[in-house]
Amino acid sequence: MQDEPLTVRRRDLLSLIGTMAGSAAMYHAMTALGFASESRYEGPIRLEGDPKGASVLILGAGLAGMTAALELRKAGYKVQVLEFNGRPGGRNWTLRGGDTFVELGGFKQTCAFDDGLYLNPGPWRIPYHHRALLDYCKRLNVMLEPFIQLNHNAYLHASRAFGGVPQRIRTVKADFQGQISELLAKVAGQGKLDEVVSKEDKEILLLALKSWGALDRDFKYKASLLASEYRGYAKPPGGGLSAAPLPSDPLALSDILRSRLWRYLENFASYNFQTTMFQPVGGMDMIGKAFAREVGDVIRYHAKVTEIWQNDRGVTVTYVDARDPAQPQKATADWCLCTIPLSILSQLPINVGATMKAAIDAVPYAGSVKVGLQFRRRFWEEDDAIYGGISYTDLPIRQIGYPNTGFNKSGRGVLLGAYLFEGANSFEFTAMPPDQRVERTVEFGAAIHPQYKSEFENGIAVAWHRVPFTLGCAGYWSEEARKQHYRNLCEIDGRILLAGEHASALPAWQEGAILSSLDAIGRLHERVIKT
Amino acid sequence: MQDEPLTVRRRDLLSLIGTMAGSAAMYHAMTALGFASESRYEGPIRLEGDPKGASVLILGAGLAGMTAALELRKAGYKVQVLEFNGRPGGRNWTLRGGDTFVELGGFKQTCAFDDGLYLNPGPWRIPYHHRALLDYCKRLNVMLEPFIQLNHNAYLHASRAFGGVPQRIRTVKADFQGQISELLAKVAGQGKLDEVVSKEDKEILLLALKSWGALDRDFKYKASLLASEYRGYAKPPGGGLSAAPLPSDPLALSDILRSRLWRYLENFASYNFQTTMFQPVGGMDMIGKAFAREVGDVIRYHAKVTEIWQNDRGVTVTYVDARDPAQPQKATADWCLCTIPLSILSQLPINVGATMKAAIDAVPYAGSVKVGLQFRRRFWEEDDAIYGGISYTDLPIRQIGYPNTGFNKSGRGVLLGAYLFEGANSFEFTAMPPDQRVERTVEFGAAIHPQYKSEFENGIAVAWHRVPFTLGCAGYWSEEARKQHYRNLCEIDGRILLAGEHASALPAWQEGAILSSLDAIGRLHERVIKT
């Protein structure tokens, strides 16, 4: 009996350890018990055992492909990478002045941004819990700076509320939170929570609501210097004889509710958008370039794959030079790790089993449009005191993202004038020629920033459904499709296996691409050293 | 009748303009009506009119004094500055490796930080609405970077709650918000809000609570992937075959309430601590140094003022060289702008009227202690995924501030190991010798970060009540004292007037010092050009 395993709740055990040995010991126990688990990533992958010269052909030099190239070569594999574009990174991509881009349909855009300004058409932010990506940034010396997701002084805008006047996020947030707290304090005071909250807890709850909701001594949220200390002042505190502040007037709860502006608040608290977020200094493609410094020598650029064929001894991939497609060429290896987006892969001849093929065909790709706009001056900082962060609107542009770099400087700036993700507006913008996308973005944005009209200089618009190397921004899994096809997509099929954000539970995130790749090469390696 | 002024509520007028002319016109009207007022600062001060060679003696080369020196000289005044320290900036101060500091009582500390690491013993953050300070940073080319106030992944720690185990801010915040929302949704569903919320609003309120509180379809906040999308996962989403996430377990509302951890949440929403905050790249004293590049030629360092004497023709200030106090010297001018902290000024002979003298004597100075600790490695990032921001604790150290620069880099780091402001702990730490302050800080901090014990290298501790040039960290006005003395402190007394954070409604903030100075020199200039 004494040797039987003990069943104990983790938190009871922790509490015991805390009491017996102090909180430091408890912290270690907590970590040991997986309480503090932040990520699937537990440090650099260790592929132990000799692959005996096995070769892997990697399709795609995005983050998934380059992660695999780097780690497999380090583990002793022969690796080769075929990449469609003339640059590394795939969707890890930054547009700067002088860059050109031809989209499906033939429209060619040349970026006219000033030196030092840029747009990240694809990923643009990195959460603190994307441990694998952050570790590669560290190992590859990519400098990071904060990405501001929540800027209290940016705007929330509803065309048909508040006379169309954009509201500061701080006012909507403080007024909503304050009035919710007042309501709850009121019913608590009336004894209407007595069934669910103990008397002792109720007393503390009232204090907590007062603190959290900026309520006055009568548990009211109203025009006051106290509430202004959260929502902002009509006249802020100053210096000398003109110092006294004046309180501002809260928005009515009913007006906030009917405006629907509350629905943007969740964007600032969700796990993927919590502080501290990052962006690479100088543009997202600093990451792709850093990988390419390591594995660029095994990447063949401009290689457009046209067929993937395997037998039980290896894989043969046919490709053409995208600039001179007349001459098919072949590459062979023992194994193939394919990171080509499913939107493209589903159109290629590939002899995998029926279940993987069905999975490849099952995932539609999300549409997304990003428009970068250059302005003569950083009026959002100079006039509106908005430094970084995002304004949200119900207009088709959806978001205005302010640059998170070069703060408080004079001169030109580029902001993200529109970020549409799925939905009718995204399709509508995708259907327009690029110059019209830019034009419409400026028109809509002027409802929030009237300065657009006089300060706009030039813009560039990337509609992901028209980007030749992905035909969409990311795999758009339904729950149903994931249930039916996800495992089949990830299992090794003969000598072929897939990786990329589409083969992860973090779709559209770079971390998903890397974790997917690490999971895939881990399984591949296990198979290789067993054979 | 038709020409009588129309009385109309601002928001009615705005709404009318919005309807008639669209939201851009409304925005302009809003600004014109003062709705968008962000600050008292409306751009560089313009001191028009000829001061005809009037001279001003400025006491103190902190931000207030140097602002005055810069602007008055530009307007045609003869200016001279006397400064106690051997450097500009005053409380705008940064300690780096090799710096020494002797506090009252004679303890001398030498900072042993590695190159590039620093502690800001005084101000360390700049709100986005401190427009005057930001404008000087811009004009004087001080580079800024974000200061992270709220880091969702930092800790809240209560010694006697949760077995002493620190909780991530995200979990306390999400769980409190979620369970508050669930409670309110419950009573709303039971019709208990019907007196105060209309039926239509109630329907929207429920949707808003669901979104804001991460409630499920039954309006419950509970262990789920949805709630984990805010509080974090037990096992986060991954890639490939090991991708599926596992939800985490919320903390019980009762446990959160009793822990008192909720009281820290307000720190992340208040106007002075909202995103986007800033710090100068390289240390806060970059601002003082930038001012000194402009006005350093008129600053006399090491000048300890011993008497301030005025008659109706001018002011004579007696001072000694702090390094050789035997030889009193005199400086004279038509006017004197004194920015010496009241804690010091109240001890000096100064012939001002009784009301100003009473005001000078009326303001106690707050105590504050900051301790900087250098560690062998940035374990808070490497082990705990905490990048910048602040952990709060009920231990005497109160806060742990993580560096907001050098993110994701290898090697040593300096964090703010303690930041005590007023209260018994502050006095207690002030009373200790510096090495003991550091020792205690390491001991206490180890309850939150056990890594302290193995990674600690050296530290430095500044207790503001023992800092010779201020004898406290900032003017600590009571409401009563402000009512009675504030105006008397700010009025011009003969040929003397005062400025500094103590002469502002923004005590302890650099913006208060600058706005106070601008207000003072504006009034001084008016008087000068009238005479």
Bridge partner list, A372: A416, A460
B34 has pLDDT over 50:
no
Residues of chain B with Cβ-Cβ distance to A261 below 8 Å are none
**Residue A367 near residue A471, CB atoms below 8 Å:** no
Judge whether A354 is closer than 8 Å to chain B, CB to CB. no
pLDDT of the residue at A88: 98
The model's pLDDT over A302-331, given as tens digits with 9 standing for 90+, comes to 999 999 999 999 999 999 999 999 999 999
Residues of chain B with Cβ-Cβ distance to A17 below 8 Å are 163
What six digits make up the tokens of B445?
């901090």
Number of other residues whose CB lies within 10 A of the CB of residue A53 = 9
Out of B17, B262, B503, whose CB is closest to A239? Answer: B503
What is the distance between the alpha carbons of residues A72 and A69, in angstroms, rounded to a whole number?
A: 5
Whole-number average pLDDT of chain B: 93
What is the distance between the alpha carbons of residues A70 and A291, in angstroms, rounded to a whole number?
A: 8
Which residues are CB-neighbours of A233 under 8 A, at least 6 positions away?
A225, A245, A246, A247, A248, B37, B271
**Residue B420 near residue B426, CB atoms below 8 Å:** yes
Please give the CATH number for the structural domain made up of A55-89+286-363+477-530.
3.50.50.60
Q: Which of these CATH numbers, 3.90.660.10, 3.40.50.620, 3.30.750.24, 3.90.226.10, describes B95-153+276-283+366-466? A: 3.90.660.10
Which residues are CB-neighbours of A387 under 8 A, at least 6 positions away?
A148, A151, A153, A381, A402, A407, A408, B128, B276, B278
Mean pLDDT value of segment B96-111: 97
Task: Give, for B139, the enclosing helix (H) or strand (E).
Answer: helix B131-139
What is the distance between the alpha carbons of residues A465 and A473, in angstroms, rounded to a whole number?
A: 7
Q: What angle do CA B204, B208, B210 make, to 5 degrees?
A: 115
Is domain B168-259 annotated with CATH 1.20.1440.240? yes
pLDDT of the residue at A26: 45
Please give the distance of CA B56 from its chain centroid, rounded to a whole number.
30
The model's pLDDT over A188-215, given as tens digits with 9 standing for 90+, comes to 999 999 999 999 999 999 999 999 999 9
Nearest Cα residue to A183 out of A193, A194, A170, A173: A193
Burial class of residue A507 in the structure, from the number of CB atoms within 10 Å of its CB (0-12 exposed, 13-18 middle, 19+ buried):
buried
SS3 at position B27:
helix
A407 has pLDDT over 90:
yes
Sign of the torsion formed by the C-alpha atoms of B17, B22, B23 and B27 = negative
Mutate to test the interface with A, among B17, B251, B275, B404 (most CBs of A within 10 A): B275
What is the distance between the alpha carbons of residues A307 and B46, in angstroms, rounded to a whole number?
A: 72
Instruction: Tell me whether residues A263 and B208 touch, CB distance under 8 A.
Output: yes
Instruction: Tell me whether residues A504 and B240 touch, CB distance under 8 A.
Output: yes
Pairing of strands B167-168, B155-157: antiparallel
Instruction: Tell me whether residues B18 and A209 touch, CB distance under 8 A.
Output: no
What is the distance between the alpha carbons of residues A129 and A512, in angstroms, rounded to a whole number?
A: 12
Q: Picking from A150-154, B5-9, B76-80, B232-236, which range would have the lowest pLDDT averaged per residue?
A: B5-9
Any idea which fold A166-251 has?
de novo design (two linked rop proteins) (1.20.1440)
**Residue B59 near residue B338, CB atoms below 8 Å:** yes
What is the distance between the alpha carbons of residues B427 and A531, in angstroms, rounded to a whole number?
A: 70
Tell me how close the Cα of A324 comes to any Cα of chain B, in angstroms. 35
Mean pLDDT value of segment A132-155: 98
Bridge partner list, B58: B81, B337
What is the distance between the alpha carbons of residues A442 and A375, in angstroms, rounded to a whole number?
A: 11
Residues of chain B with Cβ-Cβ distance to A198 below 8 Å are 254
DSSP string, B75-87: TT-EEEEE-SSSS
Instruction: Tell me whether residues A165 and B30 touch, CB distance under 8 A.
Output: yes
pLDDT over 70 for what percent of chain A?
92
Q: Which residues 212-241 on chain A approach chain B with CB closer than 8 angstroms? A: 212, 214, 228-241
Q: What angle do CA A207, A212, A215 make, to 5 degrees?
A: 70
Out of A159, A235, A260, whose CB is closest to B37? Answer: A235
As a whole number of angstroms, the longest Cα–Cα distance in chain B is 86
What is the distance between the alpha carbons of residues A133 and A127, in angstroms, rounded to a whole number?
A: 9
Written as one letter, the residue type at B431 is A
**Residue B441 near residue B375, CB atoms below 8 Å:** no
The model's pLDDT over B308-325, given as tens digits with 9 standing for 90+, comes to 999 999 999 999 999 999
Exposure string over B319-330, b if 16+ CB within 10 A, otherwise e: bbebeeeeeeee
Q: What does the domain layout of chain B look like in residue ranges?
A: 1-37, 55-89+286-363+483-530, 95-153+276-283+366-466, 168-259
Outline where A232-370 has alpha helix (H).
Answer: 253-259, 285-295, 342-345, 354-361
DSSP string, B159-188: TTSGGG--EEHHHHHHHHHHHHHHHHHHHH
Mutate to test the interface with B, among A41, A271, A517 (most CBs of B within 10 A): A271
Residues of chain B with Cβ-Cβ distance to A244 below 8 Å are 505
Mean pLDDT value of segment A358-385: 97
What is the distance between the alpha carbons of residues A175 and B173, in angstroms, rounded to a whole number?
A: 18
Sign of the torsion formed by the C-alpha atoms of A421, A423, A426 and A430 = positive
pLDDT over 90 for what percent of chain A?
90
Burial class of residue A284 in the structure, from the number of CB atoms within 10 Å of its CB (0-12 exposed, 13-18 middle, 19+ buried):
buried
A281 has pLDDT over 50:
yes
Sign of the torsion formed by the C-alpha atoms of B234, B238, B243 and B244 = positive
Residue of A nearest to B410 (CA): A138
Judge whether B15 is closer than 8 Å to chain A, CB to CB. yes
Which residues are CB-neighbours of B364 under 8 A, at least 6 positions away?
B343, B472, B476
What is the distance between the alpha carbons of residues B159 and B150, in angstroms, rounded to a whole number?
A: 21
pLDDT of the residue at A38: 54
Q: Please state the three-class secondary structure of A20-40 as a single string.
A: HHHHHHHHHHHHHCCCCCCCC
Nearest Cα residue to A445 out of A526, A358, A371: A371
Q: Is pLDDT larger for residue B326 or for residue B22?
A: B326
A21 has pLDDT over 70:
no
A29 has pLDDT over 80:
no
pLDDT of the residue at B18: 47
pLDDT of the residue at B42: 83
pTM for the full predicted model: 0.93
Token pair 């939107």 in the structure block, residue: A343
Q: Which residues 447-476 on chain B approach chain A with CB closer than 8 angstroms? A: 447, 450
Written as one letter, the residue type at A446 is A
CA distances from A95 to A259, A461, A468 (A): 36, 10, 16
Mean pLDDT value of segment A396-417: 97
Bridge partner list, A59: A82, A338
Bridge partner list, B304: B320
Q: What angle do CA A429, A434, A437 make, to 5 degrees?
A: 45
Whole-number average pLDDT of chain A: 93
pLDDT of the residue at B39: 64
Burial class of residue B52 in the structure, from the number of CB atoms within 10 Å of its CB (0-12 exposed, 13-18 middle, 19+ buried):
exposed
A28 has pLDDT over 90:
no
Q: Please state the three-class secondary structure of A89-157 as a single string.
A: ECCCCCEECCCEEECCCCCEEECCCCCCCEECCCCCCECCCCHHHHHHHHHCCCCEEEECCCCCCCEEE
Looking at domain B55-89+286-363+483-530, its CATH architecture is 3-Layer(bba) Sandwich (3.50)
Residue B84 — φ and ψ, nearest 5°? -65, -45
B14 has pLDDT over 70:
no
Exposure string over A121-142, b if 16+ CB within 10 A, otherwise e: bbbbbbbbbbbbbbbbbbebeb
What six digits make up the tokens of B149?
């106030």
Which residues are CB-neighbours of B103 under 8 A, at least 6 positions away?
B109, B434, B462, B463, B466, B467, B468
Q: Is pLDDT larger for residue A242 or for residue B176?
A: B176
Residues of chain B with Cβ-Cβ distance to A243 below 8 Å are 486, 490, 504-506, 515-516, 519
The model's pLDDT over B164-174, given as tens digits with 9 standing for 90+, comes to 999 999 999 99
Token pair 């390491």 in the structure block, residue: B442
What is the distance between the alpha carbons of residues A57 and B20, in angstroms, rounded to a whole number?
A: 64
B7 has pLDDT over 90:
no
What six digits make up the tokens of A525?
């390696």
Please report the ipTM that was assigned to this predicted complex: 0.92
Number of other residues whose CB lies within 10 A of the CB of residue B183 = 23
Instruction: Tell me whether residues A163 and B23 touch, CB distance under 8 A.
Output: yes
**A with B: how many residue pairs have Cβ under 8 Å apart?**
384
Mean pLDDT value of segment B39-53: 89
Mean pLDDT value of segment A126-155: 98
A34 has pLDDT over 70:
no
Q: What angle do CA B286, B290, B293 make, to 5 degrees?
A: 140
Please give the distance of CA B442 from its chain centroid, rounded to a whole number.
24
A251 has pLDDT over 90:
yes
Q: Picking from A14-23, B254-263, B496-505, which range would have the lowest pLDDT averaged per residue?
A: A14-23
What is the distance between the alpha carbons of residues A146 and A125, in angstroms, rounded to a whole number?
A: 9
Residues of chain A with Cβ-Cβ distance to B257 below 8 Å are 201, 204-205, 208
The model's pLDDT over A466-484, given as tens digits with 9 standing for 90+, comes to 999 999 999 999 999 999 9
What is the distance between the alpha carbons of residues A408 and B83, in angstroms, rounded to a whole number?
A: 29
The secondary structure of residue A397, as a DSSP letter, is: T
